[in-house]
Chain A
Amino acid sequence: MSQINRLTQGGRIDRSKTLNFSFNGTSYTGFPGDTLASALLANGVDIVNRSFKYSRPRGIVAAGAEEPNAVVQLGSTEAAQVPNVRATQQALYQGLTAASTNGWPNVQNDVMGLLGKLGGKMMPPGFYYKTFMTPASMWMTYEKLIRKAAGLGRSPRENDPDIYDHMHRHCDVLVIGAGPAGLAAALAAGRSGARVIICDEQEEMGGSLLDSRDLINGQDPALWAAAAVAELLAMDEVLVLPRTTANGYHDHNFVTLHERRTEHLADTAPQINGQPQARARMHHIRAGQVILATGAHDRPVVYANNDVPGNMLASAVSTYIRRYGVVPGNKLVLTTSNDYGYRAALDWHEAGREVVAIVDARAKPDGDLVKAAREKGIRIITGSAVFEGKGSKRVSGARVARIDLDNFKLAGSVEDLVCDTIASSGGYSPVVHLAAHTGARPVWSDEAIGFLPGKVKGMTPVGSARAVYSLSAVLADAVEAGASAAAACGFESGGIELPQVQSATEGPACALFQVPHEKPTMRAPKQFVDQQNDVSAAAIELATREGFESIEHVKRYTAMGFGTDQGKLGNINGMAIAARCLGQTIPQTGTTVFRPNYTPITFGAIAGRHCRDLFDPERYTALHSWHLKRGAKFEDVGQWKRPWYFPIGNESMHDAVARECLAVREKVGILDASTLGKIDIQGKDAREFLGRIYTNKWEKLGVGKARYGLMCKDDGMVMDDGVTTCLAEDHFLMTTTTGGAAGILEWLELWHQTEWPELEVYFNTVTDHWATMTITGPRARDLLSEVTDIDLDKDNFKFMECREGQVAGVPARVYRISFTGELTYEINVQANYAMRVWEALFQHEAKYGLTPYGTETMHVLRAEKGFIIVGQDTDGSVTPEDLGMQWCVGYDKPFSWIGHRALTRPDTKRDDRKQLVGLKPVDPKVVLQEGAQIVRDPNQTIPMKMVGHVTSSYYSPVLNSGFALALVMGGHKRMGEKVYLPMADGKTHEAEIVSPIFFDPKGARQNV
């Protein structure tokens, strides 16, 4: 049988086309305009899931984002799997494939359900903690089984075929929600010329107007909604975003919107003109004003067995009938605390099915809708409520009695009604979630019997989001708010004529949360508060009895409002129950914190296009394509891709590095050093500034001369180093470490701007502008002489000097500085010419044995010379003296410098500080592990006293031995001592403390 619950007419669906879909392996049909939920209800599918903890059969309760049960796994292929989709929010499309997230082997017959049936006594709150707490070592095992039993969907095991992206947008007024309030506010704001964005999470804009009994201008209010949307679409400065949920409301009116662009079409995004389109798009909105038109959720009533399929929200029943032409049952009992709940009974009656009774908690209801029900001859039982539903896989009856809410007990005889559907309405809960995201606590209103959004700067709630429910009042409220929001952004609205509204007048509601039962709450059949997390009234009562008095603790103990639900249906009832148990008011009890996201967002949308090869910028030097062609292996240094080494053929890294090292020591190597930070410093006080920022002296550095400098933080610890050259009297070029470049420029600006603004000096980054090629090795001079007009004579161009001239026909600055200990020239040219100069040098490759080398060889060569790398041999706790570099500290400089004071503290003068030394493994074949801990006595008991650690360690081809740099307590005075390095594999290495300079200790080779 197909679509047994579908009406032959009515609803906003297109009956001319049939859509086929499958749910839990069974094929069904529906119509365009359906949601998966409305189509399932049309087909008479009662059980859509098993509950999270007790595995109870569950049916569809709601018609929107607040649905707790109909959470499904979507996708026809493995790659297209999407967990945690609410069937009530998923538009139906041809071929849609969905399955329940819980239930094993299936939702109809579930093994876990047996355990659930044994009931609450078996699984009280804290059940998992209490049962599986010991032994602690087994928790990882328990957890896997518990998770499998609990369900809640699964991630795809294959790559997502779809793409997602982000848009950053700004507007004057953001309107969240396109029901009557949102549309009216957007029109009022939009007509002023303000930039407006309006979003709505549903398939169709209009909200409650799509299933309302009211009339606007004497017509179906959906027509007014359609006209409003059309007008908004036609406005230049208005952006209309359908199928877009405002998921997070952050500080300063920054709101994240999740636009589902193709999920109503297919489970993977169709291509457009052969190009992929984003399946979902995250809009990052920065709004001047936010209008919160998020509406209200109907609040279910808490009574026994209120989770059996067939228990629904009254408003959802109306929505299914009026919007989708689906009556989700045959015999209805309505239990309500208010007039608007009556719409469900009237709609049900008009659809031609039986309304068994309306059970109204109020003694004397008398609004228009009540009268209309009486006129239709519908039985109304007043002063009463449904206190228990009957049935297990579908409602079979309702138990009704008079209630005494003051004393929380039943107050009369019980009547059993036969029905298959129980609709309940406990009143509306304004959707305060988004406002709460900002940290604004919701405020209780006795008048509204609900929480209202807290105050947020630049945010105005309108309509039912602030408990204004009558349509004419909603429209007036929204127009005023829309115009005011635009005015706050400097746009005057011409005003807007309010349409004529005909709606029923409503009588006052009463506060009804949990219905008392014949038995005490702890003994009655389960009365569910939060169906998604299986939290019952008894669980909340137990939590309060066990001493959890804060609502936040009650939440964590019971899991109420956790996860994807975020307390949409259950939290107000849960707070009311906790308040009753604690003998306090609801405002005293307060609310829990609703957090982003309002409904689940796919990770893809959060990542956007920042994935795969666009995940993070890769910074390239001007020579990158040469390195690629030469077969370089790359190392990530910050975001830079630096050549690591250049293997030839199948050469191993070890062999390649050994070859590169020997080439530099014996012939000549070349390194692309363009990534070094370079800062141009100009001004008459540049020299003075350098003296204050570096530890060493700069006042006497002559023009054309270069000097190594150390920089400390104000705590006296080394933060960066590099060579700075005096280009002219008031002009310097500072180099920094590759990783430090951006931070050091900020550091210089910080000190200049905040401490020494009187110094006349400017700093500008030229890192990307100059390409730097380092040629180093005994034949460097011969090589360079082939391509330059600079006088390279050793007496005319000395070590630590700079010259200008032509290299390969390109203007260049050449620096004689060395990080290898060999004769070295650093050639700097404007980066656009780098490739030409590099290739010109390589024309002499064969003649001089020119060998390109990468960062690994650079590391070995500098370590052989005992040159530190800041961040590798230092870690923010190392002073210049710890490094043995007191020669680089000018204690007697006239003006204090950064770190000076800290370096005179007793702590920085201790002689047992960790100090930089060399380590020579006794077995030359051993290459110590970087990070390995050092002890003096290998035979002591664990925990051993650790006296230092290895910072750099390599194999040296020229020494034919492993060697290392290390920080060792009091190391400078322990030359020649033996230390031990116990390793994780049980071996212990022995090493001798030596000078950190392993090669050419007198520095003769760089001075030739």
Chain B
Amino acid sequence: MSKVAIIDQCAGSDVRAESPMHHVKVPSVAANPGVVLEQKPFLGHMTLRGNSADDAFCAAIQQVLGVALPLQPSALVHDASGENSIQWISPDEWLIVVPGGREFEVETALHQAYSGHFAIVTVSGGQTLLTLSGPNALDVLHKSTVYDVHPRNFPVGKGITSNFAKATAIIRRPSEDVWELIVRRSFADYCYRWLVDASREYGVSVKV
């Protein structure tokens, strides 16, 4: 018997799923919106814990995900397809985001590839990813987080966890003009309402 219980938690595409923002009201789209807010629902989110000083652990990640485990604090790396990413969260914690439904396969493969002490936990139901873009995206971030999001301090390929209004969020910059926010399910409604409110003066377009 495996020493860790892994189950495929996905019910398949024919079973109705509701994202954390299933219920929200979407405001009418402003002309020339300064802020574009979009949810990328139903992605596969996994928390990875482990010892990056162990080369075998790093090699297993590389083998399973096709991306090297980022060792620099706050680094965010994607694979060539751009669909699989790993973000450094803390010295022994990373966030893996993959297309929804791949979690079981990744968990299983990692346990096969590496038998040392580590943990991988699927958290796809517990959080969701939003993208924030548009000419005023930075202004909205200034209103929302105490973290320094200036490009000099926050280059492409960085991701951090910080406060977001009165909640917390993972804030990441996968490309020049796009910011990603990962918020917890139970705070998603609050964060969404905060974002729409903060964007209002710039005009906002929302897709959930």
Contact = CB atoms under 8 A, between A and B. Distances in A.
B119 A614 contact: no
Best-surrounded residue of A276, A613, A762 (most CB of chain B within 10 A): A762
A166 B143 CA distance: 6
Interface in A824-841: 829-836
Interface stretch (A201-209, A618-626, A710-718, A863-871): A618-626
A832 B19 contact: yes
Contact of B124 (A616, A727, A767, A830): A830
Interface stretch (B56-64, B171-179, B198-206): B198-206
Contacts of B2: 728
A195 B153 CA distance: 11
Contacts of B203: 273, 275
A223 to B, nearest CB: 32
Contacts of A682: 4, 49, 119, 121
B26 interface: no
B197 A809 contact: no
Contacts of A912: none
A766 interface: yes
Contacts of A278: 201
Nearest to A835: B18
Contacts of B12: 809
Interface stretch (A81-89, A167-175, A296-304, A375-383): A167-175
A528 to B, nearest CB: 44
Contacts of B5: 727-728, 731, 804
Interface in B173-199: 184-191, 193-194, 197-198
B53 to A, nearest CB: 14
A683 to B, nearest CB: 6
Interface string A375-417: 0000000000000000000000000000000000000000000
A640 interface: yes
Nearest to B103: A830
Contacts of B109: none
B186 A640 contact: yes
Contacts of B19: 832
B117 to A, nearest CB: 4
B11 A614 contact: no
B208 to A, nearest CB: 14
Interface in B1-36: 1-5, 7-12, 15-20, 22-23
B124 A613 contact: no
A220 interface: no
Interface stretch (A529-537, A561-569, A768-776): A768-776
Given A167-B143, A275-B201, A728-B2, A617 B187 contact: yes
Given A275-B200, A730-B3, A762 B142 contact: no
A832 B142 contact: no
A762 B9 contact: no
A725 to B, nearest CB: 10
Contact of A811 (B9, B47, B150, B193): B9
Given A769-B124, A830-B125, A832-B19, A610 B200 contact: no
B143 A165 contact: yes
Nearest to B162: A168
A762 B49 contact: yes
Contacts of A728: 1-5
A470 B200 CA distance: 47
Given A680-B119, A680-B121, A811-B10, A613 B15 contact: no
A830 B167 CA distance: 22
A760 B148 CA distance: 35
A170 B4 contact: no
A682 B193 CA distance: 36
A762 to B, nearest CB: 4
B61 to A, nearest CB: 15
Contacts of B139: 167
Contacts, number: 173
A986 to B, nearest CB: 45
Contact of A836 (B1, B17, B198): B17
Interface in A255-278: 272-273, 275-278
A276 B200 contact: yes
B85 interface: no
Given A610-B165, A832-B18, A836-B16, A618 B3 contact: no
Contacts of B47: 764
Given A728-B4, A769-B125, A614 B193 contact: yes
A633 interface: no
B84 interface: no
Contacts of A619: 186-187, 190
A829 B7 CA distance: 11
B166 A610 contact: yes
Contacts of A835: 16, 18, 22
B184 A768 contact: yes
A165 to B, nearest CB: 6
A680 B10 CA distance: 18
Interface in A758-802: 760, 762, 764-771
A273 B9 CA distance: 47
B133 interface: no
Contacts of B200: 275-276
Nearest to A628: B23
Contact of B7 (A621, A729, A804): A804
B126 interface: yes
Contacts of B10: 811, 830
A609 B194 CA distance: 8
A810 interface: yes
Given A610-B166, A617-B190, A811-B10, A766 B121 contact: yes
Contacts of B22: 625, 835
Nearest to A804: B7
A168 B146 contact: yes
A361 B141 CA distance: 57
A286 interface: yes
A813 to B, nearest CB: 8
Given A195-B152, A610-B165, A831 B125 contact: yes
Contact of B4 (A165, A169, A731, A771): A731
A767 B145 CA distance: 24
A684 interface: yes
A617 B119 contact: no
B193 A272 contact: no
A165 B144 CA distance: 10
B156 interface: no
Q: Which of B3, B148, B193, B197 has the most C-beta atoms of chain A within 10 angstroms of its own C-beta?
A: B3
Of listed B1, B18, B185, residue having the most chain A CB within 10 A = B185
B121 A809 contact: no
Given A195-B150, A762-B92, 17 more contacts: A286-B146, A286-B148, A609-B198, A617-B166, A622-B18, A622-B125, A624-B189, A762-B118, A764-B123, A768-B185, A768-B186, A769-B124, A769-B127, A769-B185, A810-B15, A830-B125, A831-B20
6 contacts: A275-B203, A286-B146, A624-B23, A683-B119, A764-B121, A836-B17
Interface of A: 165-170, 195, 272-273, 275-278, 284, 286, 609-610, 613-614, 616-622, 624-625, 640, 675, 680, 682-684, 703, 727-731, 760, 762, 764-771, 804, 809-811, 813, 829-836
10 nearest A-B residue pairs (beta carbon): A768-B126, A769-B126, A831-B125, A619-B186, A727-B5, A170-B148, A830-B125, A762-B119, A832-B17, A617-B190
